[in-house]
Every structure is written in C-alpha cells, then in structure tokens.
C-alpha cells in the first residue's frame, strides 16, 4: 500500500514513517504538515491510505477528511495524540469517511516506538479491506427460538461514514419505539463508549455500549463495544465471542446479523449502511431468508457504497433507500405482520 502521512509534528511524522516502513508491502508516498496540504497532495498523487492527524494549522483533520473523501476518496485512518481529548472530532471525521482512529505512536529516547504494533495491526486490517473482498466465512450455527416477550429487533450495521448515518436514522425513530435497536459500527473498542455518548448528544436518545448478558428490550439502543464480535447468544442474551477469528473487523456486522437470523421467531428489520468492503451483506441475506425486512443504503447517500452495494448485488436487501428514508421505513417494517 502507498500511504500518505498528515501531521504537523516532525517527531510524530518520523515515528509514523518508521512504522510504515516496517510494515510489509507498505511505503510512504508523501507527507503533509496540515490538512490543506493533504487535500492538494491527495488529489495530485492518490494513495491507498492516509494517516490523518486532527489538530493542525491551516486546516484540521476533520475538514481535510471531508474534502478528501469528496474529491479524492481513499482509506483514511485518524492517527492522533489527542484521541481521548477530542472525541467529538474523531467521530466527526468518521462521519465524513475516516475508517477508525488510533493514538499516534511515540518515539522514545531509546529509539523504540511505543504503540507501533497496534498501528501496524490497523494498517493490515485496512489492507484487507482494500483487497477485493470474498464471501463471509461466518458459520451458520444452530437456530434458537425467540422468547414470546422478545420485542422486534432493528439491527444496524455500518462502517465508513457510519456515525453520521446512524445518527440520522436514530433521530427518525419515534420517542416510544416498540423495538430493540442494536448497532454494530466498525470502531475500535476503546472508542465505542465515546461513540455511544456522541450519538446520545447528537440524537437526544440514550445510546449505551452493549453489555454481556443484555436482553433485547423495546426502546433500548445499544452499540457493540468489543473487543470481540457481538452476537445474540443463548437465551436471547447479547454476548461477545472471538469467532470468526479471521474477520477483518471486530465487531463484525455479519456475525451479529447471522446470530439474529438464527434466533427462530425473532422478527424485525436489518439495516446495512455505508462502509468499505462487504461485511454485513451475507448476514443481511440470512436475515431476509429468516423473515426480517432488510434495507441497504443507496449509492447516492453513502460515503462509501461498498457494504450496501454487496448486499444489493446478492439480493439481500428488500429495499435500497436514501439515508433520509431508512429510519421511517425500518419503523414501519417492524409494525407489519410477520410473513
């Protein structure tokens, strides 16, 4: 992969160069000292991936991400020393198309780089997403029966550009929502709680991380919080599992959607939003075959039309809709009689 580095701190840029150089198959294509310079270089010399800082002079990383994803789209990973101190900026950047966020590795006095392996792992994940994706290897498992008191489920899967898309859908839901909502967004486990808080502020609806053992409760909105895949496990309780271990992302949308499809008698709606790759497409198809209504976001309103496109191509989506129409359609679907 050819990678661009955007950071105004020379020591940080040096550390990032060393990490990229030590990652097989990766080279540094160019560096930029601010967002405006990054926008220009991304247009003049397109790369596979950009490591984007947030706090910079001239133009910050949020605006640079927005401009690049509009004019010269590529994979963008927020790499900044201010992740925990500027969570709103992290989620704003992700809403504009950044894939994920991670702390900037630190070059120590001994010459060692603290945090280098974590960043290399992220680079490898992005590389897998950029390669032509194959079919999901999520196992079908054994079907389980839903309990009579379980409410309908609205399952939402998203990735690149997902935070904004999810917030728009949640804002379209009525105050008295007769369904349980579970969100699986591709985000590092360390930022899931912050994303829940960000969504709560944006939507005026309580969103919290999903906990091991949670039940599906009408009106409750939870988000997968890792470090493993979220699924509906034994007894209809939410659970975390390391399987499938070969998934490019944890949490996997496919893993949750497949587990919902296996829950015999559970009804509701599956929604697959903007994102790179094809995670969630096979799971959405399984949900449709199990009797759920299924929706994929359309090309025009997706930051990256990868995951929903894959779902549309295999006939997994009953509806392919613009973002503004998805929330209302999902609510209408859970009120329809079961097929």
CATH of the domain at 213: 3.40.50.180
Residues 93 and 159 in one domain: no
Q: What confidence tier does 339 reach under pLDDT thresholds 50, 70, 90?
A: low
Whether 186 is a known active-site residue: answer yes
Confidence (pLDDT) at 214: 96
Euclidean distance between CA atoms 141 and 156, whole angstroms: 21
The residue from 104, 130, 156 where one domain ends is 130
Confidence (pLDDT) at 142: 59
Confidence (pLDDT) at 327: 98
CATH number at residue 86: 3.40.50.2300
**300 in a domain, yes or no?**
yes
- Residue 84 reports pLDDT greater than 70: no
Marked catalytic residue, from 186, 229, 298, 302: 186
From the number of C-beta atoms within 10 Å of its C-beta (0-12, 13-18, 19+), residue 57 rates as: exposed
Q: Where are the alpha helices (DSSP H) in the chain?
A: 10-21, 35-44, 61-71, 87-95, 116-130, 162-172, 189-203, 253-262, 281-289, 307-313, 323-335
Residues 95 and 225 in one domain: no
Q: 161: alpha, beta or left, given left = phi > 0 and alpha = psi -120 to 50? A: left
- Number of domains comprising the chain: 2
Residues 289 and 228 in one domain: yes
Identify any residues that bridge with 106 across adjacent strands, giving them in sequence order.
Answer: 114
**179 in a domain, yes or no?**
yes
Taking CA atoms, 255 is separated from 248, 250, 273, 326, 331, in Å, by 12, 9, 16, 22, 23
Among the listed residues 15, 264, 11, the one whose alpha carbon sits nearest the alpha carbon of residue 144: 264
Please write the tens of the pLDDT for every residue from 231-266. 999 889 999 999 998 887 889 999 999 999 999 899
Residues 28 and 71 in one domain: yes
Euclidean distance between CA atoms 291 and 268, whole angstroms: 8
Write the CB contacts of 282 (distance below 8 Å, at least 6 apart in sequence): 135, 136, 138, 254, 257, 258, 314, 316
Among the listed residues 81, 78, 82, the one whose alpha carbon sits nearest the alpha carbon of residue 106: 81
- Residue 138 reports pLDDT greater than 90: no
Residues 123 and 157 in one domain: no
Domain that holds residue 40: 2-130
Residues 40 and 164 in one domain: no
Residues 244 and 168 in one domain: yes
Confidence (pLDDT) at 176: 92
CB–CB of 170/327 below 8 Å?
A: yes
Peptide bond into 244 cis (omega under 30): yes
**137 in a domain, yes or no?**
no
CB–CB of 15/107 below 8 Å?
A: yes
**138 in a domain, yes or no?**
no
Residues 251 and 302 in one domain: yes
Instruction: Indicate the DSSP class of residue 250.
Output: S
Residues 149 and 223 in one domain: yes
**43 in a domain, yes or no?**
yes
φ, ψ at 318 (rounded to 5°): -65, -45
Q: What confidence tier does 134 reach under pLDDT thresholds 50, 70, 90?
A: low
- Residue 191 reports pLDDT greater than 90: no
**152 in a domain, yes or no?**
yes
Write the CB contacts of 149 (distance below 8 Å, at least 6 apart in sequence): none
Whether 279 is a known active-site residue: answer yes
Whether 247 is a known active-site residue: answer no
The residue from 108, 130, 152 where one domain ends is 130
Marked catalytic residue, from 159, 167, 259, 302: 159
Confidence (pLDDT) at 226: 79
Among the listed residues 195, 171, 184, 170, the one whose alpha carbon sits nearest the alpha carbon of residue 78: 195
CB–CB of 303/69 below 8 Å?
A: yes
CB–CB of 199/163 below 8 Å?
A: yes
Residues 224 and 302 in one domain: yes
Q: What confidence tier does 321 reach under pLDDT thresholds 50, 70, 90?
A: very high
Residues 159 and 263 in one domain: yes
**139 in a domain, yes or no?**
no
Please write the tens of the pLDDT for every residue from 4-52. 999 999 999 999 999 999 999 999 999 999 999 999 999 999 999 999 9
The residue from 95, 130, 165 where one domain ends is 130
Residues 168 and 38 in one domain: no
Please write the tens of the pLDDT for every residue from 110-125. 778 888 999 999 999 8
Euclidean distance between CA atoms 37 and 57, whole angstroms: 10
Marked catalytic residue, from 92, 214, 254, 279: 279
Helix/strand/coil percentages in the chain, nearest 5: 40, 20, 40
From the number of C-beta atoms within 10 Å of its C-beta (0-12, 13-18, 19+), residue 326 rates as: buried
First to last CA, the chain: 47
Please write the tens of the pLDDT for every residue from 274-308. 999 999 999 999 999 999 999 999 999 999 999 99
Peptide bond into 227 cis (omega under 30): yes
**110 in a domain, yes or no?**
yes
Q: What confidence tier does 215 reach under pLDDT thresholds 50, 70, 90?
A: very high
């Amino acid at each position: 992969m050819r990678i661009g580095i955007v950071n105004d701190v020379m020591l940080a840029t040096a550390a990032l160069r060393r990490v990229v150089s030590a990652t097989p198959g990766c080279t540094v294509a160019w560096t930029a000292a601010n967002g405006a310079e990054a926008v220009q270089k991304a247009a003049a010399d397109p790369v596979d991936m950009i490591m984007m800082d947030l706090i910079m002079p001239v133009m910050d990383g949020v605006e640079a991400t927005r401009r690049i994803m509009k004019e010269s789209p590529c994979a963008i990973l927020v790499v900044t020393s201010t992740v925990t101190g500027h969570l709103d900026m992290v989620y704003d950047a992700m809403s504009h198309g950044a894939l994920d966020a991670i702390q900037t590795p630190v070059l120590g006095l001994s010459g060692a780089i603290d945090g280098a392996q974590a960043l290399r792992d992220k680079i490898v994940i992005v590389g897998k997403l950029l390669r032509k994706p194959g079919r999901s290897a999520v196992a079908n498992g054994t079907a389980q029966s839903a309990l009579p008191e379980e409410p309908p489920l609205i399952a939402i899967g998203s990735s690149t550009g997902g935070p904004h898309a999810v917030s728009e859908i949640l804002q379209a839901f009525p105050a008295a929502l007769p369904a349980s909502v579970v969100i699986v967004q591709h985000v590092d486990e360390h930022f899931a709680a912050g994303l829940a808080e960000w969504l709560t502020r944006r939507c005026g609806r309580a969103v919290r991380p999903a906990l091991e053992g949670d039940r599906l409760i009408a009106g409750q909105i939870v988000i997968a919080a890792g470090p493993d895949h979220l699924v509906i496990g034994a007894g209809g309780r939410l659970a975390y599992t390391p399987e499938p271990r070969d998934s490019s992302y944890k949490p996997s949308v496919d893993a949750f959607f497949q587990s919902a499809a296996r829950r015999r008698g559970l009804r509701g709606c599956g929604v697959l939003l903007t994102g790179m790759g094809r995670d969630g497409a096979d799971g959405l198809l399984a949900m449709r075959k199990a009797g759920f209504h299924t929706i994929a976001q359309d090309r025009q309103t997706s930051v990256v039309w990868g995951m929903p496109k894959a779902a549309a191509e295999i006939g997994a989506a009953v509806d392919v809709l613009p973002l503004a129409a998805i929330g209302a359609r999902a609510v209408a679907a859970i009120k329809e009689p079961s097929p």
